[in-house]
């Protein structure tokens, strides 16, 4: 069997600004001795056996005469059409795609954000929000925030228990607290509750998604299997933690890693969507001092002309005391673009 191959011009080429570059190669073959169906020819091409010197396993490089094309594009489609005017003549179209990141042209990163007002139960507006102090923990990559900073035991920056120390008077004989008394560790700020009921106050909340194009398991140009980016465990390990370091231009401790989604693109290529949420209160909750253990209760008028009582002692409760460095989820070049966005 002798198969003659003619290389026709590249029939089509397209490019997306944030996506795939695609093109097709077209060949015409003529077999002077054997008559094959289109299915038989296609099976020879995709199986690696080859036909007319063409081998095109889907997901791998296009191979011509046993040599892989230098083009980094990967085979996605193989189409064979028998031509009526020629004996045993077939037209073979190979569809290929590649991504800009794979060719080194640029890093494919984009940041999508949604800025909203989040109604939040609050006893105080403009409270003191402490700066976390993080300590490296196990396993490697995790950090623990000092819980004492949030409950007023440990000095922080700003110092929660010295900016708002115990203030006001306590009768040394009776132990009765004056109306303006504030216990140590109180979060400060302006009282907005009424008779111990929190007020719903709108705080700015930023939900943002970082999208990056990644390459998973694939076959390289010389036919070697490559693991690619398989960091699924690394991607999911930090879910539910706060940012131990500045990330995306936002201060440490203000962001929670909500999750990640992987969306298939072409074969081994996928789009990773990392989801985050940022809040100015660092995701902590305001909690009132309980009434038990006090001589005159937990509330006072504080000079309110409406005779509305206010909680005199309010504290922070921080449920997210574990942190990770979100920058570690991305490559250095990706982090640079994320910070710019």
Tell me the pLDDT of the chain averaged across its residues: 82
| Cα(27)–Cα(129) distance, integer angstroms | 68
| Residues 23, 151 within the same domain | no
My answer on whether 183 and 92 are in the same domain is no
Question: If we measure between CA atoms, which residue out of 75, 74, 80 comes closest to residue 92?
Answer: 80
Judged against a pLDDT cut of 90, whether residue 18 lies above it is answered with: no
Residues 155 and 191 in one domain: yes
d(CA 139, CA 146): 17
Look at residues 72, 340, 337, 79 and name the one whose alpha carbon lies nearest to residue 212.
Answer: 337
Same domain? 145 vs 95: no
* CA-wise closest residue to 128 among 193, 191, 189: 189
Looking at residue 293, what is its pLDDT? 52
pLDDT score of 104: 54
Reported pTM: 0.79
The predicted structure's pLDDT at residue 9: 66
pLDDT of residue 84: 66
Boundary of a domain, candidates 79, 103, 127: 103
Q: Band of the pLDDT at 142, cuts 50, 70, 90?
A: very high
**Domain closes at, from 86, 103, 120:** 103
The continuous run of DSSP H or E covering 41 comes out as: helix 38-46
Region 186-205: what's the mean pLDDT? Answer: 91
Domain boundary among 103, 121, 143: 103
Q: Are residues 270 and 299 in the same domain?
A: yes
Residues above pLDDT 90, as percent of the chain: 43
Greatest mean pLDDT among 14-18, 130-134, 159-163? 130-134
**Whether residue 168 is found in the same domain as residue 267:** yes
Q: Return the higher-pLDDT residue of 84 and 222.
A: 84
Lowest mean pLDDT of 32-41, 125-134, 170-179, 231-240, name the range: 170-179
- Higher-confidence residue of 251 and 72: namely 251
Task: Report H helices in 227-275.
Answer: 232-237
Domain range for 72 is: 3-103
Rounded mean pLDDT of 97-126?
A: 83
Q: Are residues 120 and 67 in the same domain?
A: no
Residue 179: its pLDDT value, please?
56
Give yes or no for residue 298 having a pLDDT over 70: no
Contact predicate 177/168, CB 8 Å: yes
Tell me: do 256 and 153 sit in the same domain: yes
Do β-strands 109-122 and 199-215 pair in parallel, antiparallel, or remain unpaired?
antiparallel
The mean per-residue pLDDT over the stretch 200-215 comes to 94
Check whether residue 296 and residue 199 sit in a common domain: yes
**208 and 323 share a domain?**
yes
Contact (Cβ atoms closer than 8 angstroms) between residue 41 and residue 56: no
90 and 25, same structural domain? yes
75/125 same-domain check: no
Task: List the beta strands (DSSP E) in 32-170.
Answer: 54-55, 63-64, 67-68, 74-83, 89-99, 109-122, 124-125, 134-137, 142-145
Distance CA 199, CA 78 (A): 64
Q: How many domains does the chain have?
A: 2
Q: What pLDDT is recorded for position 108?
A: 82
Max Cα-Cα span within the chain: 115
Higher pLDDT, 198 or 10: 198
Is the pLDDT higher at 114 or at 174? 114
């Amino acid at each position: 069997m002798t198969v003659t191959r003619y290389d026709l011009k590249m029939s089509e080429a397209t490019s997306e600004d944030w996506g795939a570059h695609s093109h097709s190669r077209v060949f015409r073959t003529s077999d002077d001795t054997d008559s094959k169906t289109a299915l038989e020819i296609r099976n020879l091409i995709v199986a690696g056996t080859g036909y007319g010197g063409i081998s095109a396993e889907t997901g791998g490089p296009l191979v011509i005469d046993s040599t892989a094309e230098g083009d980094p594009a990967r085979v996605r489609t193989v189409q064979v059409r028998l031509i009526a005017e020629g004996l045993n003549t077939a037209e073979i179209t190979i569809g290929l795609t590649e991504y800009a990141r794979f060719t080194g042209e640029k890093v494919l990163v984009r940041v999508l954000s949604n800025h909203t007002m989040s109604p939040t139960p609050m006893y105080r507006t403009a409270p003191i929000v402490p700066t976390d102090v993080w300590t490296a923990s196990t396993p490697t990559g995790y950090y623990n925030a000092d819980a004492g900073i949030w409950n007023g035991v440990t000095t922080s920056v700003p110092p929660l228990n010295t900016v708002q120390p115990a203030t006001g008077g306590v009768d040394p004989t009776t132990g009765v607290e004056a109306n303006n008394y504030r216990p140590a560790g109180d979060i400060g700020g302006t009282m907005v509750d009424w008779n111990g009921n929190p007020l719903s106050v709108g705080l700015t909340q930023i939900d943002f998604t970082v999208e990056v194009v990644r390459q998973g398991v694939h076959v390289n140009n010389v036919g070697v299997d490559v693991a690619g980016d398989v960091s699924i465990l690394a991607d999911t390990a930090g879910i539910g933690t706060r940012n131990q370091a500045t990330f995306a231009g936002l201060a440490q401790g203000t962001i929670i890693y909500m999750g990640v989604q992987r969306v298939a693109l072409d074969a081994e290529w996928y789009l990773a969507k990392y989801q985050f949420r940022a809040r100015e209160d660092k995701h902590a909750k305001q909690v009132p001092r309980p009434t038990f253990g006090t001589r005159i209760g937990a509330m006072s008028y504080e000079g309110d002309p409406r005779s509305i009582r206010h909680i005199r002692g309010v504290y922070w409760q921080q449920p997210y005391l574990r942190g990770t460095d979100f920058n570690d989820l991305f490559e250095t070049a990706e982090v640079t673009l994320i910070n710019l966005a």
